[in-house]
Chains A and B, each alone.
Chain A
Amino acid sequence: MKTIIEKLNSKYNLQEIVYQRDNLVFAAINKENAIDAVTYLRDYEGFSHFVLMSCVDWIEDGKFQLLYLLNNPTLKSDLGLKVYIDRNNPEMVSAHHLWKQIWTYQRELKEAFGINFPGSPRVDENFVVEGWTDIPHMRRDFDTHEYAQKTYFPRGDRKTNDPAEYMRKKLYPNQPITAKQRKDDK
């Protein structure tokens, strides 16, 4: 894996290289080079199995982090290429031509995070939330609690326990609650 990472680094100037395990490496790459690098890995370095495409919302940095996780079945190793894209203009080059399942991931990411992949088949079709009009539901600023309270009819006789408080009583009944914990809970 080290040789491949070094080769990839000299070719595409990787950042944030982390050897999470012997057989799992994460690295960040420029948006412009990402699909080129993924294609190179598939065609020349044996990363033929596309494992996963995912997204993390780093709202505090104003960025979305896309992840292309590739597996090399011969080396039995994984490489996760991370691409940071602007949260205010979330658009990425489509990779649907590389593996058959990628358009599904891109369709989901369009719905869940609002990231556009121009040219990706059926990218505008609903995936799991039909008729959704709110902000994309996997973004950090979408508040599930507020949405549930706003959308669903409240049941008058329902008793609600604060999960953290309930667990504290059950698991650590004799442990005093510190001021910091109280502050954290709030």
Chain B
Amino acid sequence: MINKFLGFKPDEKLLPSQTVTTDTVIDLSSHKYQKIWLGPNHPGVTGNMSVELTVQGNTIMKAKTHVGYLHRGFEKLIERRLFVQGFPTSIRMCVAEPDTNEYLIARSTEELSGYADAVPEYANWLRMLSLEMARLQGLLRGVPGQGGTFALGIGVQWGVYLRDLILDRFEELTGARVYHMYIIPGGVRGNLPEGFKKRMEENLVEIDEFIIRIKKLMFHNSVFKTRAVGLGIITPDMVDKYGIVGTNARACGVKRDVRKDNPYLYYDKLDFDPPTATEGDVYARTWVRWQELIQTVDLIRQIMDKMPETGDIRAKMPNVLNWKIAKGETYVRLESGRGEYGMYYVTDGSDKPRRINLRGPSYNHAIALFEDMLVGADVADVHAIMVSVQSCPPEIER
């Protein structure tokens, strides 16, 4: 192809090689390479982290993820707090879907203290409803956010508006918009307000329209298609090698979903089949997430239809100020919008957790995987790949 700036086609043999191999020696003093820092910023919707890039022209030769800009020592702080005091701290470990932390910490304490079966049925349905609402608000920001990395900013604004509607529902259900502290040991904090289901259905109808519009905006857009197809490919053999989970795995054909593989709450009573794709590129991952948007709306409707009209919302639990849990350990997981999200929880017989360790999908996706995916990519595509693997630094730094 004729280079429009040079006016002729250069001899490619004379150009420096841009193929990165294990033998490639990157010598910055040779002036063939340049080091640039991307961040710490908030490119799109992924939180604060930075990437140290070594580039040759526009091609990335080496990448390093740097985290630590959000480290607040949550896991350490929880070790100094009573079991119930860990809640306000733990939910801040993931801004995108804080409710997932509530469920994990509640479930872990219930399991280790022998109250795993004590949670009333109605409370478990409410837990499932709040988890699916959390997934929905995350997808409403995440799916158009992928378009945002290719300058399709309008979709992000639509998504933010609709996410706000779900946050309104959260506010009337829990009293808070982002950090809800709704799921607590033994059940949930409150019942559905009167008319909640009707108002939720009105929001879902509006979201249905958005889903169609976002399809036209992104998947019928030539810029999006040209840039996203073939970009940032994850192959099935990479899934176990890198610990890839969630939509990142499903978009390359590896169908893993904790809701199906290890059903928790009442997911086995819901009718759904996680969407998959085979291409494993940015386009496929976005397409799978778009289909999950449709599925999540459907799941919320199913939950509202199938849940009992009323019931107990909490089991009687020990006095939270004198609650001691015998020595033990467990690992509890759920399927967040970004994939398997788990918590390793250790108790030592005292009134505080001995250790909690969060396992967020971003820990693998945003460091080991992301660094390797960037090699050979164009500088302009860094944000697109970053958003497509759904990196979320708060869950890395804890």
Give A residues with C-beta under 8 Å from B: 18, 20-21, 23-24, 26, 48-52, 54-57, 67, 69, 73, 76, 78, 80, 99-101, 103-104, 126-130, 137-138, 140, 142, 144-145, 163-164, 167-168, 171-172, 181, 184
B309 to chain A, nearest CB (A): 29
Closest to A130 in B: B68
Q: With A and B bound together, what is the CA distance between A56 and B355 in angstroms? A: 6
Inter-subunit contact A20/B261 (CB<8 Å): no
Inter-subunit contact A48/B76 (CB<8 Å): no
Q: Give the chain B neighbours of A137 by CB distance below 8 A.
A: 73, 76
Give the interface size class of chain B.
35 or more
Inter-subunit contact B367/A145 (CB<8 Å): no
Q: With A and B bound together, what is the CA distance between A145 and B243 in angstroms? A: 35
| Interface mask (B310-349 → A, CB under 8 Å = 1, otherwise 0) | 0000000001111000001111010000001010101000
Inter-subunit contact B397/A100 (CB<8 Å): no
Inter-subunit contact A52/B359 (CB<8 Å): yes
Q: Give the chain A neighbours of B342 by CB distance below 8 A.
A: 51-52
Instruction: Tell me if B372 counts as interface (CB < 8 A to partner A).
Output: yes
Inter-subunit contact A24/B330 (CB<8 Å): yes
13 contacts between A and B (CB under 8 A): A20-B331, A51-B333, A52-B359, A55-B355, A69-B331, A100-B368, A101-B363, A101-B364, A129-B68, A138-B75, A164-B82, A167-B321, A168-B321
B11 to chain A, nearest CB (A): 38
Given contacts A69-B344, A104-B364, contact A172 B331 (CB under 8 A): no
Closest to A26 in B: B329
6 closest residue pairs by CB, A with B: A128-B68, A128-B71, A54-B357, A48-B240, A101-B364, A101-B368
Q: 16 more A-B contacts (CB under 8 A) besides A26-B329, A99-B240, A100-B368?
A: A20-B111, A24-B330, A24-B331, A48-B240, A50-B243, A51-B331, A51-B359, A56-B355, A73-B240, A80-B329, A80-B344, A129-B71, A140-B79, A144-B76, A167-B320, A171-B321
Inter-subunit contact A49/B368 (CB<8 Å): no
Inter-subunit contact B261/A127 (CB<8 Å): no
Q: Give the chain A neighbours of B364 by CB distance below 8 A.
A: 100-101, 104
A23 to chain B, nearest CB (A): 7
Q: Is the interface of A mostly helix, strand, loop or mixed?
A: mixed
B264 to chain A, nearest CB (A): 11
Q: With A and B bound together, what is the CA distance between A73 and B329 in angstroms? A: 21
Inter-subunit contact A144/B240 (CB<8 Å): no
Instruction: Tell me if B304 counts as interface (CB < 8 A to partner A).
Output: no
Closest to A23 in B: B262
Q: Give the chain A neighbours of B344 by CB distance below 8 A.
A: 52, 54, 67, 69, 80
Q: With A and B bound together, what is the CA distance between A15 and B363 in angstroms? A: 30
Q: With A and B bound together, what is the CA distance between A184 and B340 in angstroms? A: 38
A111 to chain B, nearest CB (A): 10
Instruction: Tell me if B67 counts as interface (CB < 8 A to partner A).
Output: yes
Inter-subunit contact B67/A128 (CB<8 Å): yes
Inter-subunit contact A76/B261 (CB<8 Å): yes
Closest to A57 in B: B355
A109 to chain B, nearest CB (A): 11
Scoring A48, A56, A104, A138 by chain B CB atoms within 10 A of each residue's CB, the highest score goes to: A104
Instruction: Tell me if B256 counts as interface (CB < 8 A to partner A).
Output: yes
Q: Give the chain B neighbours of A103 by CB distance below 8 A.
A: 368
Inter-subunit contact B322/A181 (CB<8 Å): yes
- Of A21, A100, A145, the residue contacting B241 (CB under 8 A) is A100
A151 to chain B, nearest CB (A): 12
Q: Give the chain B neighbours of A168 by CB distance below 8 A.
A: 321
Q: With A and B bound together, what is the CA distance between A138 and B351 in angstroms? A: 19
Q: With A and B bound together, what is the CA distance between A24 and B342 in angstroms? A: 13
Q: Give the chain A neighbours of B85 by CB distance below 8 A.
A: 163, 167
Instruction: Tell me if B242 counts as interface (CB < 8 A to partner A).
Output: yes
Inter-subunit contact B331/A73 (CB<8 Å): no
Q: With A and B bound together, what is the CA distance between A126 and B71 in angstroms? A: 13
A46 to chain B, nearest CB (A): 10
Instruction: Tell me if B80 counts as interface (CB < 8 A to partner A).
Output: yes
